[in-house]
Amino acid sequence: MRFDLYSPCAALQPYIKYFAVSEQQEAQNYTVLPGTALVMGFQYRGILSQVEGNRVTALASAGITGLMDTYRVFKNSESIGTVLVYFKETGAANFFKIPLNELFSESVGMYNFIAPSTLENISNSLANAYTDAQRITVIEQFLISQLHSLSTDRLIEEAVRLITLTNGTMRIKELAQKLHISQSPLEKRFRKTVGATAKKFSSIIRIHSLIDFANNGNDIAYAAHNAGYYDQSHFIKDFKTFTGQTPEIFFSEKVK
């Protein structure tokens, strides 16, 4: 397996964290934890499916996955190759006309947003590409063509920064006060731009911060307390919803 990261061109740097090219020779199931921003994917070979219990559903070869509040299980076919676009938290809103909260917990085919002829051109160009650089260029050209002229919502950028800075523990009422805006319009703008409510986004940041803190050698109980969890049953419930495992099992497997 390989998973190589690439920086976006200058025109896309305000919106995209990085590109990734992923290749896997063997078919396998794998778990993806909730992230803090939307991810777009283009398979240039192979098939990706979503696994829900005993049901396996093939996904479109080009798709977008919204923010999630729980883990997901995917299955890739043999010899799969994918170009992934990891947006910044407020970045994807510059490429879609719909409010991004409509994509919450969804993996949606790009055919819902762009013309079939455009998708076909992307597919053909990726099929004819021999290097990662060529593949990235194909996707960059497509994204630049889809980029809106609207400016990024700076207030929501600052909201994301404050939530991240406080590891997801800041109350939304306090966040609104710091930004000098009432809570209702803040929530509406946040959902539209980021793809989840500010409270839900904060919970994602909170668990990720907890995991990072524990992975740095800190005791799990101390990490939970540091993240604002004072009730063990509440912590275990949230953690299992997020990862699919209890904290003990999750971190013991990390050590192996």
The one-letter code for the residue type at 246 is: T
Choosing from 107, 130, 146, the residue where a domain stops is 146
In this structure, the answer to whether residues 110 and 193 fall within a common structural domain is no
User: Which of 88, 120, 114, 116 shows the shortest CA–CA distance to 195?
Assistant: 88
pLDDT of residue 151: 76
Q: Is 147 left (phi over 0), alpha (psi -120 to 50) or beta?
A: beta
In this structure, the answer to whether residues 127 and 185 fall within a common structural domain is no
In this structure, the answer to whether residues 40 and 59 fall within a common structural domain is yes
pLDDT of residue 254: 65
In this structure, the answer to whether residues 126 and 74 fall within a common structural domain is yes
pLDDT of residue 236: 96
In this structure, the answer to whether residues 178 and 211 fall within a common structural domain is yes
In this structure, the answer to whether residues 47 and 90 fall within a common structural domain is yes
Q: How many structural domains compose the chain?
A: 2
In this structure, the answer to whether residues 200 and 117 fall within a common structural domain is no
In this structure, the answer to whether residues 178 and 239 fall within a common structural domain is yes
CATH code of the domain containing 182: 1.10.10.60
Q: 158-208 pLDDT, tens per residue?
A: 999 999 999 999 999 999 999 999 999 999 999 999 999 999 999 999 999
pTM score, two decimals?
A: 0.94
In this structure, the answer to whether residues 167 and 205 fall within a common structural domain is yes
In this structure, the answer to whether residues 126 and 185 fall within a common structural domain is no
pLDDT of residue 52: 94
- Contact 201/67 with Cβ under 8 angstroms? yes
In this structure, the answer to whether residues 39 and 132 fall within a common structural domain is yes
In this structure, the answer to whether residues 129 and 7 fall within a common structural domain is yes
What is d(CA 144, CA 19) in angstroms, rounded to the nearest whole number? 14
Q: Which tokens hold the place of 52?
A: 């829900």
Q: Which domain holds residue 198?
A: 154-255
Choosing from 146, 177, 206, the residue where a domain stops is 146
Low-confidence residues in the chain, pLDDT < 70: 149, 254-256
CATH code of the domain containing 33: 2.60.120
Choosing from 146, 181, 196, the residue where a domain stops is 146
pLDDT of residue 247: 96
Cα angle 65-66-71, degrees, rounded to a multiple of 5: 80
pLDDT of residue 202: 98
